[in-house]
């Protein structure tokens, strides 16, 4: 809509059936046309100079380059520009976004007070050296009278955005003064220039953006395929992955001068710089490794900095080069302090693990799509890491489960073999109670070891189920009403097996059987296999994390929570503290896996995660009560009480 309006306006001004701004591919083409505009304005107003200064936002923001001029002394002077804060008449026009018309510059000092009533704060320091300079330019002999030196300037805007200014100086012949009418006309010219310039910039930006996105999509598809392949092989080299992502950022964001990935953990910072660009030398970079990628040589750098500040800084709006004679600077010899920086968070499962930092070159601002591309790269990298970590975790869990299963299975085999040998070869009598007790103890050991093996096997099954289906279902064959005797059996066997199997360091289990009598009056349905699994996990944890010579109590009770009635099995112990902030994390996969390994040498970190899912499948809850001031930590398995 905006474009068609602009096109129509342009056609109206130009009295042309079709003028295609899109045909101007280069700045030279558009400036040539704008030069013709200046020439036309100069001819119409009989000016000695008409100059056009425009902001080329594709190159530098807030700097107004001399795009076209009829003033011979400035012609061909490439790279001349007006800084935004230029002191003087043109600077006043840019800063105030108002037109100015001064009839006779040679009277500026004399008329300054009056002029300031109309143009607040206007000043022009060059007024003192005007006469000799003007005489030189106008080739008027010394001592001769100057003609009136008229001046007018108008800001060039589009949609309220300042794009630059056009100015006219000094008539060649009478009429000598620029009139109000001429100023109005110049305003009209400025409006049209604003539209044409903005249209041209927009067109270049659109083309650039299309090209960038096309390139980005193609590159990211390639990277996706590579990462997927690496994940499937189980051999993702994270350093290579970071390099590939930064390489992609460099290829897709043309203004990017240096890029880095800063990770909040692992004490790593990865940085990539395009090789040997003129501005890259001003950045400190203790490179330890050089990698080749595409046409650029890239440095991958690691240091101990792990801080990441999330911020997006815009270019320095006041960044400007010092003033130059005749209000002109030169971009060839000076670097602007503008530019930009993008810091994009990398999130893995809702947690920020780092940032991608992209810095623009000293003068070139980012194109509007740069932030979006960087954001997508951040998300993509987060996804890659998430997939890779998940894959790694899964592999680790299976490996841990395998080790956990291997040990009890081996023990069962060895103990059963040994028991059979004893029974076969020992000369014993069935009435020999001592031997019978020995056999019973050994069988109990066998049961506890087998129970452990069963627990690991169920865990593996649940884990597989959850990994593939994302949810857990109860086995209808194993589901039945829970009576007190069953609860007592499962819990008693559970803690006894725990005592038998593990070195309990004087940890004593107290079972309150009476508290389960209530189960005769209320209806609670459970999957017996899963109940056993959940109970054993809680007892195992209580045993693992309790201090020596402390008690673990097991009881049952009823509770109403959120208007729902539950029967719960409680396991309380005194040991490692659990804070309220840890409660949610405890139910996550792998949270205490490493702690468990430190305590017992085994543990996959999926125990409570599995229990949580088991309780969910029952319509119940795993409730973890943070450690009380008396040191009690309690875990409850809440089963819904069914209506009769």
Of 46 and 407, the one with the shorter C-beta distance to other proteins is: 46
Binding string, residues 30-59; x marks residues near other proteins by CB under 8 A: ---x--xx--xx--xxx-------------
Query: Which of 362, 357, 339 is CA-nearest to residue 279?
Result: 362
Contacts of residue 481, Cβ cutoff 8 Å, sequence gap at least 6: 523, 524, 525, 526
Residue 173 lies near other proteins (rule: CB under 8 A): yes
Count of other CB atoms within 10 angstroms of residue 302: 15
Contacts of residue 483, Cβ cutoff 8 Å, sequence gap at least 6: 519, 520
Residue 147 lies near other proteins (rule: CB under 8 A): yes
Residue 160 lies near other proteins (rule: CB under 8 A): no
Instruction: Report 14-33 residues binding other proteins (CB under 8 A).
Output: 14-16, 19-21, 23-24, 29, 33
Region for residue 436 given its phi and psi (left: phi exceeds 0; alpha: psi -120 to 50; beta: otherwise): alpha
What's the min distance (Å) between Cβ of 24 and other proteins?
A: 7
Residue 109 lies near other proteins (rule: CB under 8 A): no
What's the min distance (Å) between Cβ of 234 and other proteins?
A: 59
Residue 176 lies near other proteins (rule: CB under 8 A): yes
Of 16 and 432, the one with the shorter C-beta distance to other proteins is: 16
What's the min distance (Å) between Cβ of 286 and other proteins?
A: 52
Number of shown-chain residues binding other proteins (CB under 8 A): 50
Q: How far is CA 340 from CA 366, 368, 370, 416, in A?
A: 7, 12, 11, 72
Q: Of the ranges 51-59, 108-116, 439-447, 519-527, which one interacts with other proteins (CB under 8 A)?
A: 108-116
First to last CA, the chain: 68
Query: Which of 61, 128, 59, 65 is CA-nearest to residue 329?
Result: 65
Q: Of the ranges 114-122, 319-327, 498-506, 595-603, which one interacts with other proteins (CB under 8 A)?
A: 114-122
CB 83 within 8 Å of CB 320: yes
Contacts of residue 639, Cβ cutoff 8 Å, sequence gap at least 6: 482, 524, 525, 526, 566, 567, 568, 569, 615, 618, 620
Of 115 and 401, the one with the shorter C-beta distance to other proteins is: 115
Q: Using CB under 8 A, which of 118, 351, 514, 549 touches other proteins?
A: 118
Secondary structure tally for the chain: helices H, strands E = 14, 20
CB 249 within 8 Å of CB 259: yes
Residue 145 lies near other proteins (rule: CB under 8 A): yes
SS3 of 337-395: the string is CCCCEEEEEEEECCEEEEEEEEEECCCCCCCCCHHHHHHHHHHHHHHHHHHHHHHHHHH
Residue 138 lies near other proteins (rule: CB under 8 A): no
Q: Using CB under 8 A, which of 48, 66, 68, 115 touches other proteins?
A: 115
CB 304 within 8 Å of CB 264: no
What's the min distance (Å) between Cβ of 213 and other proteins?
A: 28
Q: Using CB under 8 A, which of 27, 58, 130, 185 touches other proteins?
A: 185
Q: Of the ranges 104-112, 215-223, 323-331, 381-389, which one interacts with other proteins (CB under 8 A)?
A: 104-112
What's the min distance (Å) between Cβ of 67 and other proteins?
A: 14
Indicate if the alpha-carbon torsion angle 424, 429, 431, 436 is positive or negative: negative
* Strand residue runs (E) in 173-279: 256-263, 269-272
Q: Using CB under 8 A, which of 67, 68, 102, 168 touches other proteins?
A: 102
Residue 192 lies near other proteins (rule: CB under 8 A): yes
Task: Return the residue matching tokens 């902030």.
Answer: 581
User: How is residue 131 annotated by DSSP?
Assistant: H
Residue 122 lies near other proteins (rule: CB under 8 A): no
Interacting residues toward other proteins by CB under 8 A: 10, 13-16, 19-21, 23-24, 29, 33, 36-37, 40-41, 44-46, 101-104, 107, 110-111, 114-115, 117-118, 144-148, 173-177, 179-182, 184-185, 188-189, 192, 196
């Amino acid at each position: 809509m905006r474009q068609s309006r602009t096109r129509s306006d342009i056609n109206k001004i130009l009295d042309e059936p079709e003028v295609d701004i899109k045909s101007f591919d280069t700045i030279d083409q558009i400036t040539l046309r704008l030069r013709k505009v200046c020439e036309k304005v100069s001819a119409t107003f009989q000016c000695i100079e008409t100059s056009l200064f425009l902001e080329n936002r594709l190159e530098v923001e807030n700097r107004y380059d001399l795009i076209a001029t009829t003033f011979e002394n400035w012609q061909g002077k490439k790279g001349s520009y007006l800084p935004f804060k230029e002191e003087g008449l043109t600077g006043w026009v840019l800063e105030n976004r108002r037109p100015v018309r001064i009839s006779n510059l040679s009277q500026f000092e004399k008329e300054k007070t009056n002029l300031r009533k109309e143009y607040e704060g206007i000043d022009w320091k060059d007024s003192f050296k005007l006469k000799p300079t003007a005489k030189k330019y106008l080739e008027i002999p010394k001592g001769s009278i100057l003609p009136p030196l008229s001046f007018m300037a108008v800001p060039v805007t589009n949609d309220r955005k300042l794009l630059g200014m056009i100015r006219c100086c000094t008539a060649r012949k009478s009429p000598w003064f620029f009139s109000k009418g001429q100023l109005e006309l110049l305003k009209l010219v400025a409006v049209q220039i604003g539209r044409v310039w903005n249209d041209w910039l927009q067109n270049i930006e659109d083309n650039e953006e299309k090209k960038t996105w096309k390139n980005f999509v193609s590159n990211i598809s390639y990277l996706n395929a590579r990462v997927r392949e690496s994940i499937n092989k189980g051999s993702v080299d994270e350093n290579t992955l970071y390099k590939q992502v930064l390489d992609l950022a460099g290829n897709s964001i043309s203004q990017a001068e240096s890029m880095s990935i800063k990770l909040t953990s692992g004490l790593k910072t990865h940085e990539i710089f395009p090789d040997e660009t003129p501005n890259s030398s001003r950045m400190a970079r203790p490179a330890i490794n050089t990698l080749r990628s595409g046409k650029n040589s890239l440095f991958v750098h690691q240091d101990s900095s792990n801080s990441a500040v999330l911020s997006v800084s815009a270019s320095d709006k006041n960044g400007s080069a010092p003033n130059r004679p005749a209000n002109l600077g030169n971009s060839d010899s000076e670097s602007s302090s503008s530019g930009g920086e993008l810091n994009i968070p990398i999130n893995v499962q809702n947690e920020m693990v780092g940032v991608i930092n992209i810095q623009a070159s000293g003068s070139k601002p980012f194109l509007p799509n740069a932030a979006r591309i960087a954001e997508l790269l951040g998300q993509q990298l987060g996804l890659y890491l998430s997939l890779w970590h998940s894959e790694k975790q899964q592999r680790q869990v299976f490996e841990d489960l395998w080790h956990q299963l291997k040990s009890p299975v081996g023990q069962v085999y060895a103990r059963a073999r040994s028991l059979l040998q004893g029974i076969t070869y020992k000369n014993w009598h069935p009435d020999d109670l001592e031997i019978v007790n020995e056999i019973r103890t050994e069988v109990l050991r066998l049961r506890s070891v087998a129970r452990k093996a069963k627990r690991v096997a169920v865990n593996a099954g649940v884990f597989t189920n959850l990994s593939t289906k994302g949810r857990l279902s109860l086995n209808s064959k194993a589901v039945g009403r829970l009576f007190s005797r069953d609860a007592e059996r499962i819990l008693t066997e559970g803690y006894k097996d725990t005592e038998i199997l593990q070195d309990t360091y004087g940890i004593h289990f107290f079972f309150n059987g009476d508290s389960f009598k209530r189960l005769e009056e209320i209806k609670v349905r459970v999957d017996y296999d899963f109940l056993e699994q959940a109970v054993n996990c809680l007892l195992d944890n209580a045993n693992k994390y309790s201090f020596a010579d402390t008690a673990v109590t097991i009881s049952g009770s009823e509770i109403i929570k959120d208007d729902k009635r539950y029967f719960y099995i409680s396991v309380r112990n005194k040991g490692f503290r659990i804070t309220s902030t840890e409660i949610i994390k405890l139910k996550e996969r792998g949270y205490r896996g490493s702690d468990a390994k430190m305590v017992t040498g085994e543990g996959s970190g999926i125990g409570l995660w599995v229990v949580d899912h088991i309780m969910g499948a029952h319509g119940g809850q795993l409730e973890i009560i943070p450690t009380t001031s008396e040191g009690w930590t309690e875990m409850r398995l809440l089963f819904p009480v069914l209506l009769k």
